[in-house]
């Protein structure tokens, strides 16, 4: 390495190999991080991106190879070590403590103190306010995390990382749950930071983001670096080809036609606002879904889409009311198990909180909502459980060394596939999907779109909430647009355009 390059490279992995039982997560990886640039990393789910970042940030200490910081080898023994070397990280999985406030989470373990060594709450709240303002987040620093939506929590994680004033900031899918507006704010901030000399390592599955924000793109596949480019010198197609190993097939395969019979009807879906009297989070919403139809639901963050799905699924029994008809019959759903019995499945947005039991293995998570199926004379048959789970692992191409792997050890995108498998296993007639491809790589997305097409072809009715316009337009037969808890517009597949949808979605 000549001197000029030495100055240019702030952080480097040299020949790094990391093994987990049954998995080689990183295989002789060399990766140079350029100073004061946005260094992007892309690759399929399970390619090894997060693992490499966790080595950079001191989470994993047992690996082969070297990590160099400013040209000298470092061996971090824990995350604090990396922090004192000014390496900050925003983890892919949110790590906030739910019953603490925003400010307490941001300053956890390093709270500002008064001269008498008490926690200086005023100072803590003030500092938090400043951070939240920078990120355009209009929230009270005293508010508990438990009341925040996933996207807001993600921004608090960003604020927390920024509060440490790192020289190198690793962002592992920071935008998977935030709105376009919030993404724009974050990108402005990234620009500001790199102008000030901060180095960014940026991971995302969203190709347009990488092209917008990064200076360099490195592609990982199966634990190896496949190639590395200056962003200006490469095309999206080439990146995808490098990621997947071949050109991608049609992203939105579509073979189904809608039968026309009404299968699912929602009338007067209403959820009262948790704190403001007389206000509704979901405001008297009606819609129908036909047999074999995909109904897309679009809305900006906070439009009430997730809450509506939750209400239908019986998750807010005391604060909501809704009439749910299936095949013209009125149902009486008061809780999730009632909804499952009625034939409804719900894949939630937040995989950690509602979707999965992290310490349980892949097999048991997949079978969790459909145990009855594996019963033989009143006993759960492990053999049947293995069989069922195995089918889904194959069908969804879940990357795991075995069915006995703990879900916590899967990569983020593969965890998402396990949730999907769990709900498909209940054999629902109606499937509610909330951001089903969040954190999923482009190739796996295509598999999920193909699966949706296959399921509706077999007469399932599917409701998909998504913040990604191309996704909504690509898979839906009909699109309902939400704003401020209300249904604002409805479009047929043929008439829907990005402009029309956005126009209806802005309150
Ligand atoms: N703690 C762990 N124990 C066992 N295996 C692990 C652990 N962490 C990751 N793995 C495995 O290592 C491989 C790489 O995972 P990693 O999380 O780095 O992928 P990723 O590229 O970040 O994927 P994604 O896009 O889905 O987040 C995967 O096969 C994963 O299952
Ligand atoms: Mg990851």
DSSP conformation class of 256: -
Question: What does the DSSP 8-state code read for residue 144?
Answer: B
Closest CA to 317 of 339, 295, 302, 297: 339
Cβ count near 6 (within 10 Å) = 12
Nearest CA to ligand 1 atom 6: 409
Asked whether residue 264 is domain-assigned, the answer is no
237 and 307 in a single domain? The answer is: no
Q: Is 236 in the same domain as 365?
A: no
In a domain, 284, yes or no: no
For atom 25 of ligand 1, the residue with the nearest CA is 45
Which of 41, 404, 411 to mutate to test ligand 1, by most ligand atoms within 8 A of the CB atom?
411
Q: By alpha-carbon position, which residue is closest to atom 17 of ligand 1?
A: 411
Residue 152 located in a structural domain: yes
Q: Specify the pLDDT at position 288.
A: 96
Whether residue 259 lies inside any domain: the answer is: no
Q: Which ligand is nearest to the CA of 18?
A: 1
- Give the Å distance between the CA of 170 and the centre of ligand 2: 12
Smallest CA separation from ligand 1 atom 18, residue: 48
Residue 47 alpha carbon to ligand 2 centre in Å: 8
Q: Are 438 and 349 in contact (CB under 8 A)?
A: yes
3-state SS of 267-336 is: EEEEEECCCCCCCEEEEEEEEEEECCCEEEEEECCCCCHHHHHHHHCCCCCCCEEEEEEECCEECCCCCH
Whole-number Å distance between alpha carbons of 467 and 133: 24
Cα 22 to averaged position of ligand 1 atoms, centre (Å): 12
Cα 48 to averaged position of ligand 1 atoms, centre (Å) = 6
Atom of ligand 1 nearest to the CA of 43: 21
481: β partners: 298, 489
Identify whether residues 188 and 299 lie together within a single domain.
no
Q: By alpha-carbon position, which residue is closest to atom 27 of ligand 1?
A: 412
Same domain, 493 and 345: yes
The ligand that comes nearest to the alpha carbon of residue 41 is: 1
Residue 267 counted as domain residue: no
Quote the ligand 1 centre to 106 CA distance (angstroms).
Answer: 26
What secondary structure, in 3-state letters, does 204-230 show?
A: CCCHHHHHHHCCEEEEEECCEEEEEEE
Say if residue 305 is in the same domain as residue 220.
Answer: no
Looking at the domain assignment, is residue 272 inside a domain? no
Distance in Å, CA 229 to ligand 1 centroid: 24
**Are residue 59 and residue 147 in the same domain, yes or no?**
yes
Nearest ligand, measured from the Cα of 441: 1
Closest ligand (CA of 56):
1
Straight-line distance from the first to the last Cα atom of the chain, in angstroms, rounded to the nearest whole number = 55
The count of structural domains within the chain is 2
Q: Which atom belonging to ligand 1 lies closest to the Cα atom of 220?
A: 21
Predicted pLDDT of residue 154: 85
Rounded Cα distance, 492 and 86, in Å: 52
Name the closest-CA residue to atom 29, ligand 1: 46
Contact (CB, 8 A) for 249 and 453: no
Shared domain for 437 and 305, answered yes or no, is: yes
Strands 64-69 and 9-20: antiparallel
Both 161 and 303 in one domain: the answer is no
Q: Tell me: do 301 and 195 sit in the same domain.
A: no
Of how many residues is the chain composed? Answer: 507
Q: State whether 53 and 157 are in the same domain.
A: yes
Among 244, 275, 301, residue at a domain's last position: 244
Residue of minimum CA distance from atom 1 in ligand 1: 409
Q: Which of 224, 90, 97 is nearest to 160 (CA)?
A: 90
What separation in Å is there between the alpha carbon of 25 and the centre of ligand 1?
A: 6
Phi, psi values for residue 75, rounded to 5°: -130, 100
Structural domain span for residue 444 = 292-316+333-505
Q: Full-prediction pTM beyond 0.85?
A: no
- Centre of ligand 2 to C-alpha 172, Å, is 7
Which of 204, 219, 244 represents a domain boundary (last residue)? Answer: 244
Phi-psi category of residue 287: left, alpha or beta, with phi > 0 → left and psi -120 to 50 → alpha:
beta
pLDDT at 11: 97
Asked whether residue 282 is assigned to any structural domain, the reply reads no
Cβ-Cβ contacts under 8 Å for 235 (sequence gap 6 or more)? none
CA pair distance 74, 392, nearest whole angstrom: 42
CATH number of the domain within which 31 lies: 3.40.50.300
Tokens of 461: 């009715």
Name residues contacting ligand 1 (CB within 6 A): 20, 23, 25, 43, 45-51, 92, 399, 409-414, 441
Ligand 2 centroid – CA 93 distance (Å): 8
Question: Is 278 a member of any domain?
Answer: no
Give pLDDT, residue 104: 95
Q: Decide which of 210, 244, 278 is a domain's last residue.
A: 244
| Residue with CA closest to ligand 1 atom 2 | 409
Contact in structure between 50 and 92 (CB atoms under 8 Å): yes
Which protein residue's CA is at the shortest distance from atom 19 of ligand 1? 46
Residues 239 and 151 in one domain: yes
Specify the pLDDT at position 346: 92
In the chain, pLDDT over 70 holds for what percent of residues?
96
Both 369 and 465 in a single domain?
A: yes
Tell how strand 379-380 and strand 224-230 pair up: unpaired
Q: How far is the CA of 400 from the centre of ligand 1 (A)?
A: 9
Q: Which residues of the chain have pLDDT under 70?
A: 1-6, 351-354, 372, 374-377
Query: Average pLDDT, whole number, for the chain?
Result: 91
């Amino acid at each position: 390495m000549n001197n000029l390059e030495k100055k240019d490279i702030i952080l480097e992995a040299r020949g790094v190999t990391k093994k987990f039982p049954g998995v080689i997560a990183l295989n002789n990886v060399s990766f140079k991080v350029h100073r004061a640039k946005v260094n992007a990393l892309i690759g399929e789910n399970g390619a090894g991106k997060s693992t490499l970042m966790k080595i950079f940030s001191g989470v994993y200490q047992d690996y082969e190879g070297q990590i160099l910081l400013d040209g000298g080898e470092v061996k971090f023994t824990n995350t604090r070590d990396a922090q004192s070397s000014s390496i900050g990280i925003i983890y892919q999985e949110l790590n906030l403590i739910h019953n603490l406030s925003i400010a307490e989470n941001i300053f956890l373990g390093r709270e500002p103190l008064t001269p008498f060594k008490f926690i200086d709450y005023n100072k803590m709240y003030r500092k938090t306010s400043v951070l939240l303002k920078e990120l355009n987040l209009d929230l009270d620093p005293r508010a508990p995390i438990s009341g925040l939506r996933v996207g807001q929590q993600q921004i608090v994680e960003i604020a927390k990382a920024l509060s440490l004033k790192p020289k190198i900031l690793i962002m592992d899918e920071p935008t998977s749950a935030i709105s376009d507006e919030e993404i724009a704010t974050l990108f402005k901030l990234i620009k500001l930071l790199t102008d000030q000399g901060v180095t960014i390592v940026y991971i995302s599955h969203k190709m347009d983001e990488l092209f917008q924000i990064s200076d360099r793109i490195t592609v990982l596949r199966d634990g190896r670096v496949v190639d590395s480019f200056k962003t200006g010198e490469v095309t999206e197609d080439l990146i995808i080809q490098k990621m997947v190993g071949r050109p991608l097939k049609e992203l939105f395969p579509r073979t189904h036609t809608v039968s026309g019979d009404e299968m699912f009807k929602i009338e007067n879906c209403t959820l009262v606002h948790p704190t403001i009297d007389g206000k509704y989070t979901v405001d008297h919403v009606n819609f129908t879904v036909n047999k074999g139809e995909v109904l897309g639901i679009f809305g900006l963050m906070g439009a009430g889409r997730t809450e509506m799905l939750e209400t239908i699924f019986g998750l807010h029994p005391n604060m909501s009311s809704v009439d749910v008809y299936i095949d013209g019959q009125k149902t009486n759903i008061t809780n999730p198990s009632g909804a499952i019995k009625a034939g409804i499945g719900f894949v939630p947005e937040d995989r950690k909180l509602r979707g999965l039991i992290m310490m349980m293995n892949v097999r048991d998570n997949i079978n969790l909502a459909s145990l009855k199926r594996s019963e033989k004379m009143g006993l759960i048959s492990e053999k049947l459980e293995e069989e069922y789970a195995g089918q889904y692992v194959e069908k969804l191409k879940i990357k795991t060394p075995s069915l006995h792997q703990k879900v916590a050890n899967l990569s983020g995108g593969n965890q998402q596939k396990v949730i999907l498998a769990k709900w498909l296993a209940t054999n629902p007639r109606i499937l509610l999907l909330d951001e089903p491809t969040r954190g999923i790589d482009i190739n796996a997305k295509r598999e999920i779109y193909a699966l949706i097409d296959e399921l509706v072809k077999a007469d399932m009715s599917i409701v998909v909430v998504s913040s990604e316009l191309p996704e909504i337009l690509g898979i839906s037969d009909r699109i309902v647009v939400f704003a401020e808890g209300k249904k604002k517009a409805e479009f047929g597949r043929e008439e829907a355009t990005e402009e029309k949808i956005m126009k209806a979605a802005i309150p």
